[in-house]
Amino acid sequence: MKKLAVIVPCYNEELVIAESYRRTREALQKLPVLTEIIYINDGSRDRTRLMLDEIASSDPQVKVIHFSRNFGHQPAVTAGINNCDADLAIILDADMQDPPELIPSILELQEKEQANVVYCVRKSREGEGLFKKVTAKAFYRMLNYMSDVNFPLDTGDFRLIDRKVMDQFDRFQERGKYIRGLISWVGFKQIPFYYEREARIAGETKYPFSKMWKFATTAMLYFSKKPLRLATSLGFIAVLVGIILAVWFTLGKIYGFSNAETGWTSIMTSVIFFGGVQLLTVGVLGQYVGILFDEIKARPEYIIDEKKNF
């Protein structure tokens, strides 16, 4: 009999843990496979750790990983996959925006299609503001345009992956992971599952704009060299504009159709333009150098403080 694990990263989720566990356990009880839940406590500062320990003590099919501090959502998911020995795994957030009641349907689709990955596509996003919806749509489309890999649109980490994909995922060494991108990069047979995303049952989002921006930047830089090519193109354009301006002012001086020497507008415009291009180019290069700096240190992506029921 196959074994299915549900990987649930948690950070300050004391308001949703009990309901999350109840609904997930009820969904798993309907399945004709062995099941377990792997909770990853990502350095929570509320009662999340205590509540997870209580659940694990009463249910041997619940495993818990406690981080030594907050490392982030993607390292938490990575720890869940790295410590999973099941044949299949589903990545599920604790806030219940991705309903665990869909797990039987996802598993049925995977079995029918013999797929290695079933990625869940959001048809709608309840409980989210217009800004979040618009920026999310724009991000996925921009990422596809910028990247050398084709990513499914409007998807998150909510997906099913099989043992073959997990084994390949365990080989990845980079620290700044964009997991949904890496799973797409792996290949194999991947199929969509369409669903309606719900609002959080309680609490607040753990992805404010600052984290969303960092997440988007990581995804863009780790999967694309186009920003570097864009910086090169801007540098070329700046040089071209500089040559055109130099020729224009020289001819204007000779033939008298330009009085640039009496003003400062053209000079200031040139300085601002070239300065902006230089700063943008240096900034893009700095981002890639920063990634190299983080990777070359080879620090662990996360540190585990304690495990329960492993």
Q: What is the pLDDT of residues 104-149, one digit of tens each?
A: 999 999 999 999 999 988 887 665 566 666 666 666 676 666 666 6
Question: Do 254 and 115 fall into the same domain?
Answer: no
Residues 289 and 266 in one domain: yes
- 115 with 188, same domain? yes
**The predicted structure's pLDDT at residue 289:** 77
Q: Are residues 59 and 156 in the same domain?
A: yes
> What is the C-alpha separation between 309 and 36, in angstroms, rounded?
11
Please check whether residues 148 and 125 belong to one and the same domain. yes
Output the six-digit token pair for 66: 């406690």
Percent of the chain with pLDDT over 90: 36
Q: Single out the residue of 72, 1, 88, 2 nearest to residue 38, CA to CA.
A: 88
H-state helical runs in the chain:
17-28, 48-58, 73-82, 103-113, 130-146, 163-169, 179-186, 209-223, 226-255, 265-297
Whether residue 285 has pLDDT greater than 60 = yes
pLDDT value at residue 149: 67
Query: 162 versus 140: which is more confidently predicted?
Result: 162
167-171, long-range: CB < 8 A, 24+ apart: 169/81, 170/81, 170/82
Domain extent for 267: 226-297
Considering the domain architecture, whether residues 104 and 178 belong to the same structural domain is answered as yes
For the chain, the domain total comes to: 2
Same domain, 61 and 178: yes
pTM, full prediction: 0.72
DSSP 15: T
Looking at the fold, whether 232 and 151 belong to one and the same domain comes out as: no
- Do 142 and 285 have their domain in common? no
Nearest-angstrom CA–CA distance, 162 and 179: 15
Instruction: Write the CA distances from 24 to 28, 110, 180, integer angstroms.
Output: 6, 19, 22
Residues 145 and 202 in one domain: yes
Same domain, 81 and 190: yes
pLDDT single digits (tens) 211-234: 666 666 666 666 666 777 777 777
